[in-house]
Every structure is written in structure tokens, then in C-alpha cells.
Structure 1
Amino acid sequence: MSQLSPGVEHEQQDGIPLSQVPVGLIIRGLMAMLFAVGVVAGLHGYLGLRLVWEPGWGQPWTALGLGALGLLFASIPLGFMASRWRPTWLNRALYWTSMLWLGAFGLLLSATVVADLLGGVWRLVGEVPDALAFARTKALGVLAVVVPALGFAFRTARGRARVERIQIPMAHLGPGLHGARVVQISDVHIGPTLDRHFLQRVVDQVNALKPDLIAVTGDLVDGSVRALREEMTPLSGLKAPLGVYYVTGNHEYYHGGAAWSAEVARLGLTVLRNEHRVVERAGARLTVAGVTDVEGGRVDPSHMCRPDLALAGAPERVPRLLLAHQPRAAFLARGLGVDLQLSGHTHGGQLFPFMFLVKLQQPVIRGLAMIAGVRVYTHRGTGYWGPPLRLGPAPEIAEVTLVAQ
């Protein structure tokens, strides 16, 4: 048995036309982009100085090294643009190059900073006999650490997701749902570097767990419905007796949140746009609610994140499971009686050292935590975004077993 709170119409557009975006928002976006490009250019200069110029590799190696850094820097913005161009082999190659370099750049930058700090300590406590040899040793040491780390990170990101099993006690959970298994996937990011074959593998892994209910907590895609419709067809193979539920993530809104909601519904998933269903088994009931992403309202006011609306009319003394892409949505769900919120978005940090930046935006990076009085499980992500690399947090499929408290 299921109960649906107030219905919604799904628009078919891929996104909001640029002419409808406020001019001030466009200007702020351009200024932020130019600032970011300037910072990244400066950091490339720092790498060129430390890894190429100071070690004095001689010609033509110094010229080739500096030229390669310049071309790789240019590949980053070009790659982002190529992801929105027609998907030719050349555009795909450009995107792959830019994303691989973006990840390598982050690791090289981190390793070089550490090498400089250690070199500074060495200079303070001991004599450096040969500055040129010292600079070359540091540069080679950085490469010796970063190259194998890149190989490991690539293999981890492209490999099979790990199944994380957790048990959650719930008050008022009836015997009929004791032991029910909710399998969650999140942040799959089908797009320029992840295709239908990757998605089919994920679907097969999920179905092999024989879940009672499946939760898909956003960021399924990096592209428009028009570009990725065929790549998403394996999604229709997800099966669970209590239903397969989906909520939007922020990346859907970069490519048409309403259009993706409609497409996912066409593939047979239940889209929860600030609404809920009540599922029942053997007389026991569970409220499954879902909200749009917390950033959805910026793009489309009708997609404002509203946990209060999602749970309006939900039965009392029935456990409440809330699907919300970002963990910080728990601040909006405060006081609504949510027993468990399933979220993603953070990728667990995905790539060292960027996981330390996640805490600037989210209250938690991964795992089970209490946020604003709401118990939240934050998923590490099943795919990846941007660089096809995972250094630290492995991809995940979560199996959450609900038990009576």
C-alpha cells in the first residue's frame, strides 16, 4: 500500500534559458571563474618553478616541461567546455585529459608543498651541500610519490563499489519491517567518463543484494537528457518489492532538474519531489520521504528543498526515512520527526587532499552522524565527479538494515 502527498507536474525542458538567468548572477559567476582561473594559473607557475625550472634539467627538457604545464593548464577550462560540446572522440579525449590532469595537478601541488616544507626544515637543521642536486632530489621524490598514487586512485575509482553494511534501530518499526534492507546508491555521475556499462555493473551489484527498498540520492548524471538518455537505460533494471525511490542532486540542476526528474520517472523509479510514500509489509509501515536538492531552488523556485512539505500529512508513530542529497538538508528537517536521513554529495572527499575542503560546506564527510537532531548517513558515492580518481574513500553501495528499537 502506498500514499502520495500532493502531486507535481514534471516539466520536459533540459534547463532554464540563459536569457532568464539574472544578469547579476551571471556577472558574479564570471568574476568567480576568472578569479579561480588566475589562482590555478599561479599554482601551475609554482609547480613549473619547483619541478622544472629550479632542478635545471637542461634543454630541451626544461622548455618541454614548462610547455607541457602550460598546455595542461589550458586543458582544464577547455575540458569543462568540451563536456558541453557535441560528444566527438576529440572532445571526449580533451575532457579525459583535462580531468586526469586536474587530479594529477592536485596531487602534485600537495606533494610539492610538503616537499618544500620538509626541505625548509632540512635547511634549518642541516647543511645543504648542493642546491641543484637538492632541487632535483625534491622533484624526483614528488614524482615518485604521485605517479603510483595516480595509478592506485584511477583503479579505485573505476573499480567495483564496496558494499557497506550498517544496522539502524528505529522506534515504532513494526515486526513486519524488522530486518528490512534499504540499499542506497548516490553520486553515480554518468557522463563523459562513466557510461552505461558502469551503470549496468552498479545495477547488477544492487540487485544481487536483493534489497527490500532502493534509495537513489541524487547526482545520477553529468549531462543533459538529450545527451545521456541511452546511457541511463540500465537504471530501469533496479528492482525492489517496496519500491525504488529517487531524489535530485545539485548536478541534475546543471543540466535540467525537471527534465531529469521526468526521465527518471519514465525509467520506472519513483521520483520524490518534496513528497512522501507510505510503504507497508505484514502490517508494518514506513514513511519514505524525499526532497529536492538544497540548491534546486536557486535554479528553479518550484524545486525549493522543503522537508516540511515532503512530510506534510505523514502518519504519526510511523518511522520516517528521508532521502536528501546533501547532508546539510538535515538543518531544514529539524523537528520533523525524521528517524533517518540518507544523503550523499560529499563523495567522502573523493581525492586527497580535497576531502579537507568538504567540511567548509557540509557538516559531515561520510558515515553515520547526528546533525541538528537528525540521524544522517552520508554515502561516499558510487561513481565519481571530474577526475576519474579516488584516493582515500572508495566507491560505495550502502546496505542499511532497519531493526526495531
Structure 2
Amino acid sequence: MVIVYVLIGLAVLAAFGALHWYVWRRLVRDTTRGPGLGRRAGTAAVVAGPVLMFAAVATERAGAPFWLQQVLGWPGFLWMALSIYLLLALAAAELVRPLVRRLTDRGTTAAAVREVVPVPAGAGTSAAARPEPAEPAHPVASPHAAAPADSDAPPTSAGPSRRLFVSRVVGGAAAAAAVGTVGYGAYGVLRGPSVKRVTVPLAKLPRSAHGFRIAVVSDIHLGPLLGRDFCQRVVDTINATQPDLIAVVGDLVDGSVKDLGPAAAPLARLSARHGSYFVTGNHEYYSGAEQWVREVRELGLHPLENARTELAGFDLAGVNDVQGESEGQGPDFAKALDDRDPARACVLLAHQPVQIHEAVRHGVDLQLSGHTHGGQLWPGNYLAELANPTVAGLERYGDTQLYVSRGAGAWGPPVRVGAPSDITVVELASRQA
């Protein structure tokens, strides 16, 4: 079994190296004239990027000193996102490259024709009267005939070769597109989540609970990159919606209470008429779930560990994340739901959308989840669809509805593309109203 893991690891490293070699070839080798300063600087960047990326991942997984995780995290995880979009942009550029080449060839051919073909001195001069041009004693080579159109010959004084020109235009456009995409995606994360509003009708909800508003926030992912200031922006955004209840649906942190306790402190200022509730996500079990449950309780949140509370108009239940099974603390739907009154509406907090099937079997009316990040980095949403019944938004499964938030923060690269972060205000609607 160990040999299999080693072989898989080597195959992944080989593929990773091949992809970075392709990036280096298109952006560095093909766009520089020789082993000069530009090529050396480009090569250093393409080598340093993946080294920093692996170092950032390794220090976070190994629980290295928090300051070291912060120092390596920004360049390492940003390179992770940048390398994805460099590859996508360069792959798309391969389709454009022949067109750019054809256009440059046409321009060069037209210029050569204008240079070689003489303009007649007078339209009225007869062919017999025109003197035959004398042949030069030594043929003069045209600068355009010095090398074939696709030549890699050194550039003349007039400028770089056509191949070099095309590589610079196409490679520059691809690099600009990738950098712009990652930059805008990072800005979207750092400025904080936007607010979405969704109305969910529940058949069992009494008229008295019509319009009850739950602020759903998931996947804040406080860690080396997103800290106290980010947490404060999330808290301020939630409080501005003036919800009746706040549901923190897992993956609050990526790190220990010791390192991230100060970053999570603004959660104590969450404000809702019926309080704030919390369930674990898979990342809590990577970070010390028991310690974090105690911490959020001290901050004023109410952990629902396979438990239920009765509110005016409906039951609110919560189950642990499936990752807790590795520690004997997995989800227990029977403990949370079996002894409740089935005539009452039930809202369940469960981090992962895959828990919807158990929710349906236990007669839950609405499950609120996160976990997917909406894919976070396009086209990651297509991969997320393979592992989750719903990636984002509201869907129905039998008599149970499932709402999946895209989350407030980001994991790994502090970047989102095609999946903007959100805090969702879910307004419950009674069909009796």
C-alpha cells in the first residue's frame, strides 16, 4: 500500500512539473531572446512559485509557528491560484496563436511587396521605351528573405523575429488575463461577503413565525490569511441585516484556538433576537473541535452538537460534521431529531450538503449547509458538483428543502472566481399567512 501511495505521489509531482515546464516555456523561454536577465528572472519566478506553494501547504498541515504560516501563506497560496489561471489562459491562447501568426504574416508580406515592386515612373511610357533594369553584380538579400516566416533567427535591427513577436503578444495577454483574474478574485474575498436574501416557504410553519429571518454564514475560514479584521467585517455585515437568528454552519477556522482565538473574538459581538448557533464543519476537526466548541460557547454562541432546541414556531436542530466520525463525534440524527413533534416545522444546521439524505429520512423541512464554497475557483464548481448534491442555492429533495451557502471566506488561495462569497438571510414563510 505504501508503494502505491509513493507511485501516486510521484505521478502527481511529474504532472505538476510538466505543467510548470509548459508555463515556463510559453511565458519565459519563448518570449526572451537568450539567457539574459529577463529569462533568468522569469525562470526564478516559475521555480520559486511552486516551492513557496508547497511550503505554505506543508507549514499549515504541520502546525508550524503561526508567523511562518502567515509569511509563506500569501505568496504560496496566491501562486496556487495564479498557476491555475495561467494554465487555463495559455491553453486558450494556443487557439489564438495561429490567428495572430497569420495576421503578422499578412502584414509582413504586404510590407515586402511594397518594398520590392517599383512604382512606374509614368503611366504613358511604353514597354519598348522603358530601359531594362541592370542586374546588380552581387545580389542583395532582402531582410525579409533572411529567414523563413517561422524562423527563430536572431532579430535584426528592425525588431524581434515574427515568432518572438507572436510569443510575446500571446504570452503577455495570457499572463495579464491570469493576473487580472486572480487579483480581482482576491479583492472580492478581502472586501468581505455580500448579502443574499432567500424566501423559503415551509408548509408546517405557523402564521406567527411568518417572516422569521435566519442569517446563514458558513466557511469563514479564519486562519493565517484571513484574521481578525476579516472576522469583524463578517460580523458587521451580519449584524447590519438585523436577523432574528444567526446560524454559523461550520468551517469557522483553520487553526488552533491558541493561534486564532484573537481572530475569532469579534464573534462575541454577533447580535440577534433569538441568539447565535453553531455546528462543526470538517475543518474544525482538523483544528481541535472540542476546544473550538468551548471557545465559541464562551463567545456567546450556542453549539448544537447533535442537539435540538425549540423556538416559537419551529424546531432548530444541528448535527456534527461527518468528519467527526474519525474522532467518535460524528453526526447523530436520531439523537437530534427522533423525539421531536413531527407536526412542528424543523430547520436543521448541517455543514455538508451530503447530509441531506439523512435529513429527508428524518422529516426535516429545511437543511442549511455550506462546505462547497460554490466551487470557489472556476471551473472548480464542476468538480464540486461531482461530490455534492447541491453546490449553491436552494433545491428540494422530496419534502425537504436544502439551501447551500457559498460561504463567507476562502480556503487555500484567498481568491474566488465565479463563486462570490455571501451571507444569506433566509426568510421563512408560512403558507397560512
Fold shared by both chains (TM-score > 0.5):
yes
Instruction: Provide the aligned length of Structure 1 versus Structure 2.
Output: 374
Question: If the length of structure 2 is used for normalisation, what is the TM-score?
Answer: 0.80
CA gap 1:138/1:339 in 2 versus in 1, 3 angstroms: same
Which one of the candidate residues 112, 119, 128 is aligned to 2:90? 112
> Structure 1 residues 126, 136: CA separation in 2 closer, same or farther (over 3 Å shift)?
closer
1:17 is matched with which residue?
A: none
State the match for 1:383 in structure 2: 409
Matched, 1:86 2:65: yes
Partner residue in 2 for 1:40? 16
The alignment status of 1:258 with 2:258, answered yes or no, reads no
- Residue 326 (structure 1) aligns with: 352
Query: Do residues 279 (structure 1) and 257 (structure 2) align?
Result: no
Change beyond 3 A, Cα 1:292–1:194: same
Residues 33 and 404 of structure 1: is their aligned pair in 2 closer, same or farther, counting only changes over 3 Å?
A: farther
- Matched to 2:30, the amino acid is E
5 Å matches for 1:367-378?
367-371=393-397, 374-378=400-404
The residue number in structure 1 matching 2:381 is 355
Aligned-partner SS, 2:76: helix
Name 1:292's counterpart in structure 2. 320
User: How far apart, CA to CA, are the structure 2 residues paired with 1:317 and 1:34?
Assistant: 56
Distance 1:164 1:263 in 2: 28
Give how far 1:77 is off.
Answer: 1.4
When residues 185 and 33 of structure 1 are mapped into structure 2, their CA distance, relative to the original with a 3 A threshold, is farther
Could you say which structure has the larger radius of gyration? Answer: 2
Deviations 1:181-216 (A, max 9, x none): 011111001110111121112112212211111110
* Cα deviation, residue 110, structure 1: 1.0
CA distance in 1, matches of 2:81, 2:420: 16
Q: Distance in 1 between matches of 2:345 and 2:12?
A: 45
The change in CA–CA distance for 1:336 and 1:102 in structure 2 (over 3 A counts) is same
What SS does the corresponding residue of 1:288 show, helix, strand or coil? strand
Q: 1:306 to 1:36 in 2, by over 3 A?
A: farther
Distance 2:13 2:251 in 1: 25
Residue in structure 2 matched with residue 3 of structure 1 by the alignment = none
Which structure ranks higher in relative contact order (CA pairs < 8 Å, sequence separation ≥ 6)?
1
Q: Which moved more, 1:48-57 or 1:136-145?
A: 48-57
Counterpart of 1:353, as a letter, is P
Match of 1:225 in 2: 257
Conserved in 1, the CA contact under 8 Å of 2:318 and 2:348?
A: yes
Q: What SS class does the counterpart of residue 28 from structure 2 fall into?
A: helix
Tell me how far apart the structure 1 counterparts of residues 350 and 362 of structure 2 sit (CA, whole Å): 14
The alpha-carbon deviation at position 134 of structure 1 amounts to: 2.6
Structure 2 residue ranges without an equivalent (≥5): 107-148, 150-161
Name the SS of the counterpart of 2:411 in structure 1.
Answer: coil
Tell me what 1:341 maps to: 367
Aligned partners of 2:209 and 2:183: how far apart in 1?
44
Aligned AA (1:314): R
**Alpha-carbon distance between aligned partners in 2 of 1:293 and 1:175, rounded to the nearest angstrom:** 32
CA RMSD of aligned residues (A): 2.4
Which residue number corresponds to residue 164 of structure 2?
A: 132
Report the counterpart of residue 204 of structure 2 in structure 1: 172
CA contact (8 A) 1:107 1:352 kept: no
Task: Check the 8 A contact 1:308/1:333 in 2, yes or no.
Answer: no
Aligned to 2:77: 99
Q: Distance in 1 between matches of 2:282 and 2:199?
A: 28
1:375 & 1:118 partners in 2: Cα distance?
45
2:116 aligns with none
Change in 2 beyond 3 A, CA 1:401/1:127:
same
Within-5 A mapping of 1:11-30: none
1:69 matches 2:46: yes
Distance 1:247 1:395, change over 3 A: same
Equivalence for 1:10:
none
Question: How far 1:296 sits from its partner (Å)?
Answer: 2.1
Identity across matched positions, percent: 37
Is contact 2:227-2:263 (8 Å) kept? yes
Q: Deviations over 1:6-48 (max 9, x none)?
A: xxxxxxxxxxxxxxxxxx7x99877765554443222212211
